[in-house]
Amino acid sequence: MVDVLRPTPAPSPGAGEIFQILRDGTARTKAELAALTGLARSTVALRVDALLAADLLRPAGEAASTGGRPPARVAFNPRAGLVLAVDLGATHATVAVADLAGMILDARTRAIDIADGPEPLLDTILADAAELLATTADGLPLVGVGIGVPGPVEHSTGRPTNPPIMPGWDRFDIPAYVQRTFDVPVLVDNDVNILALGEQATSWPQVDDLIFVKVSTGIGAGIIAGGQLQRGAQGSAGDMGHVQVPAGAGSTRPPGDERDLEALASGSALAIALRAEGLDVRGASDVVDLVRAGNPTAIEATRQAGRDVGEVLATVVNLLNPSIIVLGGSIARAGEHLLAGVREVVYRRSIPLATQHLAIVQSQAGDRAAVLGAAIMVAREVLSPASVDGYVAAKAR
Amino acid sequence: MVDVLRPTPAPSPGAGEIFQILRDGTARTKAELAALTGLARSTVALRVDALLAADLLRPAGEAASTGGRPPARVAFNPRAGLVLAVDLGATHATVAVADLAGMILDARTRAIDIADGPEPLLDTILADAAELLATTADGLPLVGVGIGVPGPVEHSTGRPTNPPIMPGWDRFDIPAYVQRTFDVPVLVDNDVNILALGEQATSWPQVDDLIFVKVSTGIGAGIIAGGQLQRGAQGSAGDMGHVQVPAGAGSTRPPGDERDLEALASGSALAIALRAEGLDVRGASDVVDLVRAGNPTAIEATRQAGRDVGEVLATVVNLLNPSIIVLGGSIARAGEHLLAGVREVVYRRSIPLATQHLAIVQSQAGDRAAVLGAAIMVAREVLSPASVDGYVAAKAR
């Protein structure tokens, strides 16, 4: 064993790699970039100039001088282009224009019925988008579109796959339809996946293993594991709603009773249960109103829903060992009751090694989390090292 | 919207990227590599020459000529270096020498007691390794060591974390200890993770979402999702053994009874259950013998164990939507009975979209799957694009 094949860092990152260092928004000098990458100053200078010419970087003032001419700093220019972000729900659609840092510049929400089918709804949304762009674009190029839909999606093609609450959308080619109007990359995903991305980007940027659970009319999860959103082989990953839950300790259900989590703990299920108790409840939003008003029956039902969600999450914790579980959706946001039920079961049931550093928290991102996540999904794609290298090379030709 | 920032492929892959194309073992001409990468012939020629000089590629004869001098082909040289692969079980240790394609050149297995602790055991294993290398190395450099252990591991540091059946190993710095003898990269992982990698590499190379479940004395899983092995935040991902399982439909347990999967379906649990039926059974290997001999009580108990494993896997299928579930370990290999029980429950309980293309199969890789997986884990690390770029650059200096 005279010789040893030892891995050392890659010697030659391209413009795309240098650009990734600046994605955090910190302004840096060429000397700092050379130190961070190990590249020669002359190489850094060439690549920074190319990124400035492509408008992806902007001059950002001067650093403190150590004698002589003060060195110039450069920073990521999030206004190099715009993205369209669309959040399509069962009964609402939000369209937003965002910059490449995911900042929402303008947005519009309208009531819809997802069952109207893809073509009329997308026509309406694209018309909204064109109006928003007309007032916000200011000459900036549109670089991509991200769309969240309330059902499973084959992410590689952007086609919904057997979405239960989206009649008429099965296998519809959403990207091709949108590209007839906006000829840019179009990414489509399940809304819970997009919410997981938005939550991670805004509140937990250092976390690689995060589970986002949405409890509203239905129940679903977005799973980020090993830093990557997990969609699974057919795009149905994160389907928590159809996991069967036995009657656990403390449940009022008869022993041996097993039901889908969604039939136990969703807003729809809570509404049915509360109606059976004689309360005037039509849907999830009435449940939220009752909980907020302090109705003890609604509060206890929500806490039990949390315990049922916790039964499934305890298994998820043992299997995936996440750092953070984020609870979102209208039922989670109605107060701490769902959260309390989840915590009660997960901390009792999961292995100590997996819960030692586990935080279970409420979503902080609010109503715009979905369009934020969609904007981030698209910005990541168009600002990946390979995309940036290609863009810079095209500009230089 | 005059301008559109459109991603195009990265224009400039380095030697490491060209090398990845050749990792499949197919011999190719420089012209073919130029066509596959979009690089100029002259650039490909430079990088191929550097890879040949570094011994990572070898000449591989001539392609058919279309007139003129026939073009030379090059191929991956898996004998550019060797790796050591170690499979550490509770009662056995296998040490193997493999090439960079994961081919086992020689191996040695000995009985051990993992409770003897890290230093004496690693000394024994390293002595075995030195003897194996003395007869197989033939002047080739050792480039890395991969070690599988029967418990959770913090993969980034190679330290076991609270491993239940490895007294004395908690937080022990295995890489530092091994590097006193072999100063090369040392990767350590839970044995089920390594088995998942080995199974994927040998039988399912195109599959990105694979769950490997080991049912022997204990129960654990290795999870590959989105093409990546998932270790979780503290390295405890895949802990199926401590998931609590309710008494499902058809179970002979009383309603409301809940136990850890390992207490129901592991080889140890089966041994206890069969002893209670009056059979002469000490451990998992006696269970395997009885099943192989056709004992109906042992066969039914194994099938019920499969149903209990299936209860947990049904949730995994809804959450992660894998393409393949592979069952391994001694109880799985005792026949089709465990597999039949798993299939019965998973196909009944999981959502149709997730089971439509799901295969549930027995492990094919046999006794050497663990050292094979360990060899592949290390080879992937030392042959990554960044490592290869660094190695080629170092050779050229």
pLDDT in the model for residue B286: 94
Per-residue pLDDT reduced to its tens digit, A87-143: 998 888 999 999 998 899 999 999 999 999 999 999 999 999 999 999 998 889 999
Reported ipTM exceeds the 0.95 cut: no
A8 falls within a domain: no
Chain B residue closest in CA terms to A238: B319
pLDDT of A261 strictly over 60: yes
Q: What is the mean pLDDT of residues A256-284?
A: 91
Residues ≥6 apart with Cβ < 8 Å to A220: A190, A191, A192, A213, A214, A238, A239, A240, A241
So what's the pLDDT on residue B124? 97
Residue A337, CA distances (Å) to A302, A307, A357, B211 in order: 6, 10, 22, 35
Residue B71, domain extent? 15-76
Record: contact B232-A142, CB cut-off 8 A:
no
Q: Is the pLDDT of residue A308 over 50?
A: yes
Closest-CA distance, A278 to chain B, in angstroms, reads: 29
Q: Tell me the pTM.
A: 0.84
Quote the CA–CA distance of A202 and A200 in Å, as a whole number.
Answer: 6
Query: Which two structure tokens, joined as six digits, stand for A26?
Result: 């910190």
| Higher pLDDT, residue A18 or A121 | A121
> Do both B229 and B305 map to the same domain?
yes
B255: nearest CB among A255, A314, A357 = A255
Instruction: Return the CATH number at B56.
Output: 1.10.10.10
The whole-number pLDDT of residue B11 equals 35
Chain B residue numbers touching A137 (CB-CB < 8 A): 1
Q: Give yes or no for a contact between A278 and A315, defined as CB atoms under 8 angstroms apart.
A: no
Q: Which of B371, B353, B85, B384 is nearest to A171 (CA)?
A: B353
Supply the pLDDT for residue A269: 95
On whether residue B177 sits in a domain, the answer given is yes
**How far apart are alpha carbons B150 and A310 in whole angstroms?**
29
Exposed/middle/buried for B280, CB within 10 Å: 0-12, 13-18, 19+? exposed
| Nearest-neighbour CA in chain B from A154: distance (Å) | 11
Last residue of a domain, one of B61, B76, B91: B76
- Cα dihedral A303/A308/A311/A313 (nearest 10): -80
Strand segments, DSSP code E, in A196-266 are 210-215, 219-225, 228-229, 244-246, 258-260
Please check whether residues A146 and A271 belong to one and the same domain: no
Please work out, in degrees rounded to the nearest 5, the angle formed at the alpha carbon of residue A138 by the alpha carbons of A112 and A85.
Answer: 30
Q: Quote the CA–CA distance of A176 and A182 in Å, as a whole number.
A: 10
Q: Count how many domains chain B has.
A: 3
Q: Which residues pair with A221 in a beta bridge?
A: A213
pLDDT at residue A142 in the model: 94
Q: First vs last Cα of chain B: how many Å apart?
A: 49
- Chain A: nearest CA to B42, how far in angstroms? 18
Mutate to test the interface with B, among A4, A5, A190 (most CBs of B within 10 A): A5
A98 and A60 co-located in one domain = no
CB atoms B393 and A11 under 8 Å = yes
Report d(CA B77, CA B54) in Å as an integer: 10
Please give the angle made by the CA atoms of B12, B18 and B22, to the nearest 5 degrees: 160
Interchain proximity A232–B209, CB inside 8 Å: yes
So what's the pLDDT on residue B188?
Answer: 96
End of a domain among B76, B95, B123?
B76
What does the alpha-carbon distance between residue A121 and residue A86 come to, in Å, rounded to a whole number? 12
Residues A27, A85, single domain; the answer is no
Instruction: Kindly list the residues from chain B whose CB atom is less than 8 angstroms away from the CB atom of residue A132.
Output: none
d(CA B377, CA B358): 25
Are B243 and A314 a contacting pair at CB < 8 A? yes
Is residue A238 in a domain? yes
Asked if A243's CB is within 8 angstroms of B314's CB, the reply is yes
Note whether A220 and A190 are within 8 A (CB): yes
- What's the pLDDT at B68? 75
Asked if the Cβ–Cβ distance from A384 to B7 is below 8 Å, we say yes
DSSP H or E segment with residue B117: none
The answer to the question of residue A196 being in a domain is no
Tell whether B247 is covered by a domain: yes
Q: Does A162 sit within 8 Å of B321, measured CB to CB?
A: no
Helix ranges (DSSP H) in chain B? 15-22, 30-37, 41-53, 118-136, 174-179, 191-203, 261-265, 267-276, 284-292, 296-320, 330-333, 337-349, 352-355, 369-382, 385-396
Q: Compute the nearest-CA separation of A161 from chain B (Å).
A: 8
- Give pLDDT, residue B7: 39
pLDDT confidence band for A7 (50 / 70 / 90): very low
Non-local (6+) Cβ contacts of A351 within 8 A are A317, A318, B236, B239, B242
> Do A251 and A348 belong together in one domain?
yes
Instruction: Answer yes or no: do A216 and A354 share one domain.
Output: yes
Looking at the domain assignment, is residue A7 inside a domain?
Answer: no
- Residue in B216, B193, B209, B299 with CA at minimum distance from that of residue A155: B209
Q: Closest Cα to residue A277, out of A296, A255, A256?
A: A296
Q: Are residues A276 and A386 in the same domain?
A: no
Please name the member of A323, A350, A390 whose beta carbon is closest to the beta carbon of B233. A323
Query: Which residue of A80, A221, A256 is in closest CB contact with B255?
Result: A256
Q: Is residue A368 predicted with pLDDT exceeding 90?
A: no
Give contacts of B357 with chain A, Cβ < 8 Å.
233-234
Helix (H) or strand (E) holding B56: none
Residues A284, A287, A291, A297: what is their CA dihedral angle, to the nearest 10 degrees? -140
The reported pLDDT for the residue numbered B323 is 96
Residue A365 backbone zone (phi > 0: left; psi -120 to 50: alpha; other: beta):
alpha
Packing angle of the helix pair A30-37, A41-53 (nearest 10 deg): 120
Residue with token string 């405890």 = B236
Question: Residue B279 domain-assigned?
Answer: yes
- Domain ends where: A41, A56, A76? A76
Between A256 and A150, the more confident residue is A150
Structure tokens at B273: 């259950």
Q: Which residues of chain B have pLDDT under 50?
A: 1-12
In a domain, B158, yes or no: yes
CATH number of B220's domain: 3.30.420.40
Residues A271 and A356 occupy one common structural domain: yes
Pair A124, A241 in one domain = no
Indicate whether B89 and B63 sit together in one domain: no
B104 forms beta bridges with B98
Which of B319, B324, B358 is most worth mutating to test chain A (most A CB atoms within 10 A of its CB)? Answer: B319
Return the minimum-mean-pLDDT range out of A61-70, A93-102, A154-163, B311-320. A61-70
Nearest to B10 among A233, A246, A386 (CB): A386
Give the pLDDT confidence score for residue A1 in this predicted structure. 32
Query: For residue A362, how far is the Cα from the chain centroid?
Result: 15
Residues A216 and A325 in one domain: yes
Query: What is the per-residue pLDDT for A251?
Result: 63
**Contact (Cβ atoms closer than 8 angstroms) between residue B71 and residue B63:** yes
Q: What's the rounded Cα separation, in Å, for the pair B284 and B282?
A: 7
Q: How far is A190 from chain B (nearest CA, A)?
A: 14
Contact between A391 and B6 using a beta-carbon 8 Å cutoff: yes
Identify all chain A residues contacting B152, using CB atoms and an 8 Å cutoff. 353
Q: Do B90 and B151 touch, CB atoms closer than 8 A?
A: no
CA distance A92 to A112: 5
Q: A382 to chain B: which residues are within 8 Å by CB? A: 5, 7
Residues of B in contact with A322 (CB under 8 A): 232-233
Task: Mark yes or no for CB contact B323/A142 under 8 Å.
Answer: no
Output the six-digit token pair for A178: 């949108």
8 Å CB contact of B318 and A243? yes
Whether A318 sits inside 8 A of B240 (CB atoms) is: yes
Residues B101 and B71 in one domain: no
Give the pLDDT of residue B346: 94
Residue A249: per-residue pLDDT:
52
Cα(A111)–Cα(A191) distance, rounded to whole angstroms?
17
- Torsion region of A318: left, alpha or beta (phi above 0 gives left; psi -120 to 50 gives alpha): alpha
pLDDT tens across B363-378, in order?
A: 987 778 899 999 999 9
Phi and psi at B396, nearest 5°, equal -75, -15
**Chain B CB contacts of A12 below 8 Å:** 14, 389
Cβ distance of A231 and B322 shorter than 8 Å? no
Residues facing A153 on adjacent strands = A160
Strands (E), chain A: 28-29, 57-62, 72-76, 82-88, 92-99, 104-111, 142-149, 153-154, 159-160, 186-190, 210-215, 219-225, 228-229, 244-246, 258-260, 324-328, 359-362
Residue A68 burial (CB count, 10 A): 6
Check pLDDT > 60 for residue A5. no
